[in-house]
Structure 1
Amino acid sequence: MDQSMMLMLSNLLHLHNHLDPTTSLLSDLSSDATSPTSLLTSTSAAPLLFFTIASVLSYVASNPPSKPTNKNKNPKPSGSGRTPSAATAEFSVSAFRALSTEHIWAMEAPLRDAQWRSLYGLSHPVFTTVVDKLKPYITQSQLSLPSDYAVAMVLSRLYHGLSAQTLASRYALEPYLISKITNMITRLLATKLYPEFINVPVSRRRLVKTTQGFQELTALPNICGAIDGTSVRLHKLPTDLINPSMYHSRHGFPSILLQVVADHQKIFWDVCVKAPGGFDDATHFRDSLLYNRLISGDIEWDKAVNVRGQHVRPYIVGDWCYPLLSFLLTPFSWNRTGSPAQNAFDEGIMKGRKMVEEAIGLLKGRWKILQDLNVGLNHAPQTIVACCVLHNLCQIAREPEPDLWREPEENGSPPRVLENEKPFCYYGESLRQALADDLYQRLSSR
């Protein structure tokens, strides 16, 4: 019993003697007057009151309550309501291994894949495909983390758009190490997997499948792809840039340009990231490898159709921001001010272009890091290309499509034709008019 309790009992003794002076609790313990029985049988209420209070206090003193926890010393909960230690344990190697090797096979495939997509943006089979293809290269790098764990970490960053600092606190690693692992995985995706999953449809079988797919959509023959560009917003620009204004897009934010060509299944078959956000689509296109291969005749598509005496080889379609060329056909006008035949052609072109617009919407809708790219400027192109590779993997595997990311409205005037492009432009005008007249005649005869 502590000193405060002893002091309280002493005060009660004095109070008792004051209330009932005929009984003394400090007298001889053998006296009947001081026995418990005498207290209970006393004619005064004071002894009974004291005995009751003393019994309660004695019980409390012998059973002290546990000390309350100092809430100020507890670690602050994270934004998700978990303490840092709990959050770290949830994303540890052991937790990932339990999910990927124990729990995952006890779940039904739809539930398993839904859970995997919520974490990493793709189903478990597609995830294992990525890991299997990257594992030999990751092993060569002598990374201290397991290959599948490293890939999962980077995919979670690309899918959720997390910063290196956020991922570092989640996985209990240093931010510089998160950046290093991200750079390694995205570089491998953009270089080692790019040739396998992003390539020009030159084989006869694939070319026929692509042109037939576009013809079902547009009623126009021999379209083999649709081209478009998009600004990828940068989270911030380096402070030591000589001319940062060249990165500001027409939409007002810092960015770099992504140019893609997609087929009728919204699968990219060409990707280019070479220009700051302040450049226009035509300039970016003319600086791309695809443009140089097409204008030099390096790409040979072994499929041609005859339309009103015109030899029409496979071509791609784009909007009025691109130059009209024999291998790139654009609309006659942007506001349907042409002839009925020209307007019908423009409508068909826009149906084809819708595939690349939706492909870009899916790309940014699934890999949210592209909505606000929080990597260094030097690593931005490879991160974008890596997301394009992952997009194709998801489209080929027929993964569920997320909500489309909506792009700002396009505007601008047609680019001027360069001197070396004039022969291609002249032939493109003839092809476009022949296709328009043929389409209008077929539509009118229905």
Structure 2
Amino acid sequence: MDQSFLLMLSNLLHLHNHLDPTTSLLSDTSSTAATTTSATSPTSLLSSSSAAPLLFFTIASVLSYVASSSSRSSSSTTTTTTTTTTTNNNNNPSTTTPSPSSYSVSAFRALSTEHIWHMDAPLRDAQWRSLYGLSYPVFTTVVDKLKPHIALSNLSLPSDYAVAMVLSRLAHGFSAATLASRYSLEPYLISKITNMVTRLLATKLYPEFIKIPVSRRRLHETTQAFEELTSLPNMCGAIDGSPIKLRRLPNDPNSANSYRCRYGFPSVLLQVVADHKKIFWDVCVKAPGGTDDATHLRDSLLYNRLTSGDIVWDKVINVRGHHIRPYIVGDWCYPLLSFLLTPFSLHGNGTAAENLFDGALMKGRSVVVEAIGLLKGRWKILQDLNVGLNHAPQTIVACCVLHNLCQIAREPEPELWKEPEESGSPPRLLENEKYYYFGESIRQAMADDFHARLSSR
């Protein structure tokens, strides 16, 4: 018998006894045991000869029928709605809007601890890249390295869940408001978690994954790889700058114009040096977008370390009487220094030896252009940065750390983000740079030697 019917009938019994306790609904009023049993068993009403039980039984039957009909109707409607929604979502994946429960802690835990072990590794990693920008093994590496630091923050969310949330924002460029609606959290909490995770990436993981190649083994490997690429000896990196677009200008009108880059949009300037594997070994973000590359370089820690002799590269070669230490290459926007070589001519107007040298030099520089393209293609938040200006540098550096992790793990490379072509006149050397660094004589010696070697083949 329907449980809802029994419950309703029991309630009617109690109601009747409350209204008229002297009148028994039972046929046998002389037996206390029978009375007790009947009071607890609504089905005994069926054997009663009184009119009252019949009335209550009729009322109960009608109410039970109405209740059960409504329940079946509601269940049917829910099932139909769910089926229709599922069908529509399957037919129109582009219009699917996942419910907040799809991004809950329980849903993430089911994905990361249960479903993942039943999936083939390629399928699993493809799914994680689509969600978080990197494969599952690289994701677990990031979580394991950040977990001890996140634990100190007393965050109420699991560490891996918080990291996944931030990675999804960096990989897809979501705003805090968008993630807040997905994860059923307040936007300020999303911003707080983003700031915490990016700060940890930019500080705790930076020294481990962004390193200047000073060890003998790594320096030899890097210079050898660049020589195979360009035929130029002792090259150890390529430098370039890239404006990172800001969604909005700073509130201070006096400084707002300094953030407009040469392409017209508000930005901060990123400076990176990459090796032959398109791995960054130096990152600097400390200038508004309107700053030129040469000024940004001179304000960087890398420049100070190179000019002060703090960085010692002991791999020295002799080219036509010139002692040449490892050097980096850049375009004409950078000053020509002994540790930074730039092209002779912007438009190929030099001599045969100079043009030949410029072509090889720019081939070496191409690795940093591709590295920046990969960076912005993989972490789309850098295409339109939607964090506060105070947190912009750490967010950019955090993406550079993640980029290196992906390159070291040999993650599939996404489609390159295309930077606009640069233009402008070469910067003028400072007086102290002219006195200490003989970039022109070094560049000329290398160009002549390079031309002679190729001509003799």
Distance 2:119 2:157 in 1: 26
- Counterpart of 1:415? 427
Q: Does 1:191 align with 2:198?
A: no
Distance 2:213 2:108 in 1: 38
Which residue among 220, 239, 244 is the counterpart of 2:251? 239
- Give CA-to-partner distance per residue, 1:122-168, whole Å, 9 cap, x none: 00000000000000000000100000000000000000000000000
Distance 2:364 2:446 in 1: 14
Q: Does 1:203 align with 2:212?
A: no
Distance 2:225 2:436 in 1: 26
Distance 2:435 2:222 in 1: 27
Distance 1:108 1:424 in 2: 59
AA aligned to 1:435 is M
- Counterpart of 1:96? 108
- Counterpart of 2:396? 384
Distance 1:153 1:281 in 2: 34
> How high is the TM-score relative to the length of structure 1?
0.81
Distance 2:248 2:209 in 1: 30
Distance 1:303 1:294 in 2: 15
User: What is the aligned-residue RMSD (CA, Å)?
Assistant: 2.1
- Counterpart of 1:340? 352
AA aligned to 2:212 is V
Q: Does 1:398 align with 2:432?
A: no
Q: What pairs with 1:264-303 in structure 2 (closer than 5 Å)? A: 264-303=276-315
Distance 2:185 2:279 in 1: 35
1:66 Cα deviation from its structure 2 partner: 6.5
Task: Give secondary structure in 2 for the equivalent of 1:411.
Answer: coil
Q: What pairs with 1:60-99 in structure 2 (closer than 5 Å)? A: 81-82=95-96, 87-99=99-111
Q: What pairs with 1:100-249 in structure 2 (closer than 5 Å)? A: 100-249=112-261
The sequence identity of aligned pairs, in percent, is 76
Distance 1:136 1:241 in 2: 41
- Give CA-to-partner distance per residue, 1:352-403, whole Å, 9 cap, x none: 0000000000000000000000000000000000000000000000000000
Distance 2:307 2:101 in 1: 56
- Counterpart of 2:384? 372
AA aligned to 2:420 is P
- Give CA-to-partner distance per residue, 1:54-90, whole Å, 9 cap, x none: xxxxxxxxx9996998xxxxx9x9996456xx52111
Q: Does 1:437 align with 2:448?
A: yes
1:284 Cα deviation from its structure 2 partner: 0.4
Distance 1:275 1:238 in 2: 13
Distance 2:190 2:228 in 1: 46
Distance 1:168 1:141 in 2: 20
- Give CA-to-partner distance per residue, 1:403-428, whole Å, 9 cap, x none: 00000110011111101101244x21
AA aligned to 1:263 is D
Distance 1:354 1:392 in 2: 17
Distance 2:73 2:128 in 1: 44
AA aligned to 2:222 is T
- Give CA-to-partner distance per residue, 1:335-357, whole Å, 9 cap, x none: 11111111111001100000000
Distance 1:258 1:293 in 2: 18
1:309 Cα deviation from its structure 2 partner: 1.4
Distance 1:316 1:357 in 2: 14
Q: What pairs with 1:300-319 in structure 2 (closer than 5 Å)? A: 300-319=312-331
1:240 Cα deviation from its structure 2 partner: 3.7
1:441 Cα deviation from its structure 2 partner: 1.1
Distance 1:292 1:189 in 2: 24
Distance 1:368 1:79 in 2: 22
Task: Give secondary structure in 2 for the equivalent of 1:199.
Answer: coil
Q: What pairs with 1:46-57 in structure 2 (closer than 5 Å)? A: none
Q: Which structure shows the bigger proportion of residues in helix conformation?
A: 2
AA aligned to 1:309 is G
Distance 2:376 2:129 in 1: 15
1:290 Cα deviation from its structure 2 partner: 0.4
AA aligned to 1:260 is V
Distance 2:93 2:204 in 1: 37
Distance 2:280 2:436 in 1: 25
Task: Give secondary structure in 2 for the equivalent of 1:302.
Answer: coil
Distance 1:336 1:308 in 2: 24
Task: Give secondary structure in 2 for the equivalent of 1:243.
Answer: helix
1:258 Cα deviation from its structure 2 partner: 0.1
- Counterpart of 1:4? none
Distance 1:140 1:79 in 2: 40
Task: Give secondary structure in 1 for the equivalent of 2:448.
Answer: helix
AA aligned to 1:360 is I
AA aligned to 2:390 is N
1:242 Cα deviation from its structure 2 partner: 3.2
1:280 Cα deviation from its structure 2 partner: 0.4
**Long gaps (5+) in structure 2:** 1-68, 78-84
> How high is the TM-score relative to the length of structure 2?
0.80
Distance 2:373 2:345 in 1: 24
**Long gaps (5+) in structure 1:** 1-62, 70-74
Distance 2:268 2:453 in 1: 42
Q: Does 1:428 align with 2:439?
A: yes
Distance 1:309 1:412 in 2: 33
